[in-house]
């Protein structure tokens, strides 16, 4: 290879592009973002707690955020965990006080309904107060005004049957109305469950307390779940440091280990996947999963296109400050490409702003049908 060709290939790799016919493995990654804090304007005396969900409103003018009531738990508080902001960070609405003990998963479906899960599993200290108050182990469907229109599971009662959960961690709704739930959080059921649009149990994959497993189609701490435009189901199998991908019927399609140790997933309108990894390299050894630490990997956000069969990571945003423990978990992206991510240890929201023009980043941030 000549020096000049080497320079050209290096330049291509620096942009995160693939040279046709030359590269067959993972392309190089870049970080075209800068981290900012303080975007949100909270009411006086109301701090931002642990952020467990960020969703762009289809109107393109608002962002929905779910937090744990100014701290890392909502049980016993009177604060609203569901908040709606405009793109300038102004709070325009909030609701949900008294509904959740330990809110975890957050989703906005195609009909405009919000979904929230209760992520505290039985035996976890973070679920204890909620269970004492008769709360937890449920999935909620709400209107954008905060009215509860459906509940799955039984409040305060854990189990692994068709009508119970144990710390459900995430929820996603398919275009046909099928409801997928990752159940559950650390020490929970280690399964995913599918329901019909009216809440009828359809199937479960994996499952049972103490069922943590690295086998294909089994889970260890399935922490989030999302669905792409083709109906494929993506599970952040966090304890196993991988993403498992299923078809709409529950057939396993892929196992991806190149997204680090994913806690939260987000899929935008163009099928670009964002995976938040806030735990890689942190010692999480011990029972039941001695392999969970994922040493040798960096914390951060990994981005890749689901239109590619391999879905290689094309951009990586490293953890932007000195490590103080758990970093980014759940995240969302607005239609301008700004990423909003919650840092668990600091209980704050970080906004990542792209500093390169959209032409460099591709069409990832353009809503479908836009030009």
Q: Is the pLDDT of residue 337 over 80?
A: yes
Domain count, the chain: 1
Two tokens at 371?
A: 């030009």
Tell me, yes or no, whether 2 lies in a domain.
Answer: no
Q: DSSP label at 101?
A: S
CA 326 – CA 200 distance, rounded (Å):
36
- The Cα angle at residue 254 between residues 251 and 256, in degrees rounded to 5: 145
Of the two residues 338 and 19, the one the predictor is more confident about is: 338
Tell me, yes or no, whether 6 lies in a domain.
Answer: no
Tell me, yes or no, whether 56 lies in a domain.
Answer: yes
Looking up tokens 């000049």 gives 4
Looking up tokens 């209980």 gives 347
**CATH number of the CATH domain containing 284:** 2.120.10.30
Q: What is the mean pLDDT of residues 108-129?
A: 95
Q: Is the pLDDT of residue 256 over 50?
A: yes
Percent of the chain with pLDDT over 70: 83
Residue-number span of the structural domain to which 87 is assigned? 28-361
CA 216 – CA 210 distance, rounded (Å):
17
Q: Note whether 205 and 152 are within 8 A (CB).
A: no
As beta bridge partners, residue 227 has 233
Residue 193, CA atoms < 13 Å, CB-side half-sphere: 31
What are the tens digits of pLDDT across the range 139-188?
999 999 999 999 999 999 999 999 999 999 999 999 999 999 999 888 88
């Amino acid at each position: 290879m000549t020096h000049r060709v080497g320079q050209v290939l290096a330049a291509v790799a620096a942009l995160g592009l693939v040279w046709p016919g030359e590269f067959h493995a993972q392309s190089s990654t870049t970080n075209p973002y800068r981290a900012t804090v303080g975007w949100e304007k909270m009411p006086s005396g109301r701090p931002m707690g642990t952020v467990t969900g960020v969703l762009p409103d289809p109107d393109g003018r608002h962002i929905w955020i779910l937090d744990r009531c100014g701290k890392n738990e909502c049980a016993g508080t009177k604060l609203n965990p569901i908040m709606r902001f405009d793109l300038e960070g102004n709070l325009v609405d909030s609701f949900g006080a008294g509904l959740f003990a330990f809110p975890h998963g957050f989703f906005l479906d195609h009909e405009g309904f919000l979904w929230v899960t209760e992520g505290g599993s039985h035996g976890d200290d973070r679920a204890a107060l909620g269970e004492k108050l008769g709360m937890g182990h449920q999935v909620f469907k709400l209107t954008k005004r905060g009215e509860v229109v459906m509940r799955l599971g039984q409040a305060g009662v854990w189990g692994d049957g068709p009508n119970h959960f144990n710390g459900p961690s995430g929820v996603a709704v398919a275009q046909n109305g099928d409801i997928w739930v990752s159940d559950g959080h650390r020490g929970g059921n280690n399964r995913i469950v599918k329901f019909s649009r009216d809440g009828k149990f359809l199937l479960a994959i994996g499952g049972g307390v103490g069922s943590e497993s690295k086998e294909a189609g089994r889970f260890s701490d399935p922490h989030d779940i999302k669905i792409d435009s083709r109906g494929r189901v993506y599970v952040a199998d966090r304890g196993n440091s991988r993403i498992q991908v299923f078809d709409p019927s529950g057939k396993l399609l892929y196992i991806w280990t190149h997204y680090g140790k994913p806690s939260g997933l987000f899929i935008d309108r163009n099928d670009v996947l964002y995976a938040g990894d806030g735990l890689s390299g942190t010692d999480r050894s011990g029972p039941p999963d001695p392999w969970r630490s994922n040493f040798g990997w960096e914390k951060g956000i990994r981005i890749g296109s689901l239109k590619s069969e391999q879905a290689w990571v094309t951009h990586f945003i490293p953890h932007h400050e000195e490590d103080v423990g758990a970093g980014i978990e759940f995240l969302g992206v607005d239609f301008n490409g700004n990423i909003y991510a919650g840092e668990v240890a600091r209980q704050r929201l970080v906004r990542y702003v792209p500093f390169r023009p959209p032409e460099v980043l591709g069409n990832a941030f353009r809503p479908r049908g836009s030009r």
